[in-house]
Structure 1
Amino acid sequence: MFLKLLSYPRSLIGVIIFIFLTAASAGSLVIVNILFNNRKIEDHIVEFWTRNSCRLFGVNVVVKGLENRPEGGFLYVFNHTSFFDIFAMNGWLGSFRFGAKIELFKIPVFGAGMRRAGILPIARSRREEVFKVYQAAEARIKAGERFALAPEGTRQEVESLGPFKSGPFVFAINAKAPIVPVIVKGAAAILPKGHYIPNWGVWKRTITLEVLPAVDTTPYTIDQRPLLQEKVRQIMAPYFHGDDF
């Protein structure tokens, strides 16, 4: 009961610190990118931001299956229920870049930091623009860069697997990049969709990231995209009880 009572001021203070931490991290990314354009330094800034964002709100992260990551460029796909999916993955799964809804790029300083970091701007209502972004990123993934996209397209209300969109799978097929599924458990309870204060009334929670074996996309053509999409969904769905797959 005592820790529950402490969690309320902790979360409120954490939100205030988080705003300053985010602004400082985004500003640092812009400066480092302009002056040095050094990916390793940028990755350290992202890791510092995301790990400390978790610590602010009493979030522990457990990672399983890191040995399943292939060499070179690949695409993470993950179930998306909370902003803490992003914090946990960016903090503990190594160097990669997310696709983020384009509205976030309008936030002062933060949006500039995202652009400088190479985050993919996803205009969900404009399909043609999204595919142009993916097409431009193909060279990056072929050069060994790694990305993460939510195949559901948006955060889910509960921890379940929603319908998959075609975009990430078209991207992976065109780039001939392996798909690495990631199962995220526990993030939804920390900051569900529509909520603004993490871990309200709870002192500690744990996010578990389970990296599953990579799926080879090279045998698939664009016309076979539905087969690949269904294969990945079949791999991920058993981790979510009650999903119809």
Structure 2
Amino acid sequence: MNSTTQTASQTDKQPRPAGFLRALWVITYSIAATAKYSLKTLYFAFFSKKDLRTKVDKILVDWSGRLIRAARINWQVEGDLEQQVQEGRRVIIMCNHSSAYDIPLAFTALPGSIRMISKKELFSVPLLSSAMKAAEILSINRQNRQQAIEDLKIAREKMESGIRIWMFPEGTRSKNGELIPLKKGGIRLAIDTNALIIPVVMQDIYKVLPNKKWLKMRLHQPVKVKVGEAIDCREFDVEHRHELSDLVYNSMKRMLEERSS
């Protein structure tokens, strides 16, 4: 893969603590923006369904851009996702998870119709759950075998229709930005759907808003979104899932630990 760097939201300002009032404003603004764009998604879902996916793509980019700008994140992309994806291939983007800003930065920085695999608990939240369903956000219930089979079928259909699935294979959020061992669910999904895995890491994004420290925000934090080499899951079966998991983990860990000279 030829390495490319896309730069956006670059400033000369140094990272600094946001302060209590600024952090409180950013969080309040982000909640309000999420509610606004959830309602907008529902409006299109009920009253303007034509080209709904395209409309949702724009909503997600607009929503995420507002959140990223409010936090003054100074981000750039290294690598090229688009040139690695052959037309018609099912795609799963696997990314490390260390911040509440992982998701909005994904929609802002990467191309295509990206949709998350979300926790099933979020589908019980009023308004948000309806908006997530309308936006084609997915959930896979591994506790219920019959439901898991149905969810897997839906995921496959979404990918075949052009959706690029985004997921956090660690299964939980890292507290210090270091990569956590991967759970088996994401790897199994990739094998079951013969997907193309694109490893992605977000370097230093955990510094923007540390885990469970909502008012310890940092403004103007530099963040690198690194896109790794694609991994073709057609070369693996369930018996070799651990080899695939190691391959994905090592790719992500290497990118996360590499620092520009």
TM class, shorter-chain normalised? Answer: 0.7 to 0.9
2:86 and 2:173 map into 1 onto residues whose CA distance is 29
How far 1:152 sits from its partner (Å)?
Answer: 0.5
Please state if 1:194 is matched with 2:209: no
Residue 231 of structure 2, aligned match among 202, 209, 215: 215
Residue 95 of structure 2, aligned match among 67, 75, 78: 78
- What TM-score results when the alignment is normalised by the length of structure 1? 0.87
TM alignment of 1:163-202, pairs within 5 A: 163-197=181-215, 199=217, 202=218
1:24 and 1:116 map into 2 onto residues whose CA distance is 15
How far 1:163 sits from its partner (Å)?
Answer: 1.1
How far 1:89 sits from its partner (Å)?
Answer: 0.5
Residue range with higher mean Cα deviation, 228-237 or 5-14: 5-14
**1:230 partner SS:** helix
Please state if 1:43 is matched with 2:60: no
Unpaired segments ≥5 residues, structure 1:
none
Is the Cα–Cα contact under 8 Å of residues 131 and 167 in structure 1 kept in the other structure? no
How far 1:6 sits from its partner (Å)?
Answer: 6.4
How far 1:138 sits from its partner (Å)?
Answer: 1.1
**Structure 2 residue aligned with 1:118:** 136
**Structure 2 residue aligned with 1:34:** 46
TM alignment of 1:1-245, pairs within 5 A: 7-37=19-49, 38-67=52-81, 68-72=83-87, 73-94=90-111, 95-123=113-141, 126=143, 128=145, 129-130=147-148, 132-197=150-215, 199=217, 202-241=218-257
Structure with more helix by fraction: 1
| Paired amino acid for 2:228 | L
After TM superposition, where is structure 1 displaced by more than 6 Å over at least 4 residues in a row?
A: none
Is the Cα–Cα contact under 8 Å of residues 16 and 220 in structure 2 kept in the other structure? no
Give the % identical residues: 25
- What TM-score results when the alignment is normalised by the length of structure 2? 0.82
Is the Cα–Cα contact under 8 Å of residues 95 and 200 in structure 2 kept in the other structure? yes
| Paired amino acid for 2:241 | R
How far 1:169 sits from its partner (Å)?
Answer: 1.5
Question: How many residue pairs are counted as aligned between the two chains?
Answer: 237
Quick one: structure 1 residues 108 and 69, their matched pair in 2 at CA, closer, same or farther if it must change by over 3 Å?
farther
**1:121 partner SS:** coil
2:170 and 2:100 map into 1 onto residues whose CA distance is 14
Is the Cα–Cα contact under 8 Å of residues 98 and 119 in structure 1 kept in the other structure? yes
How far 1:43 sits from its partner (Å)?
Answer: 0.6
How far 1:130 sits from its partner (Å)?
Answer: 4.8
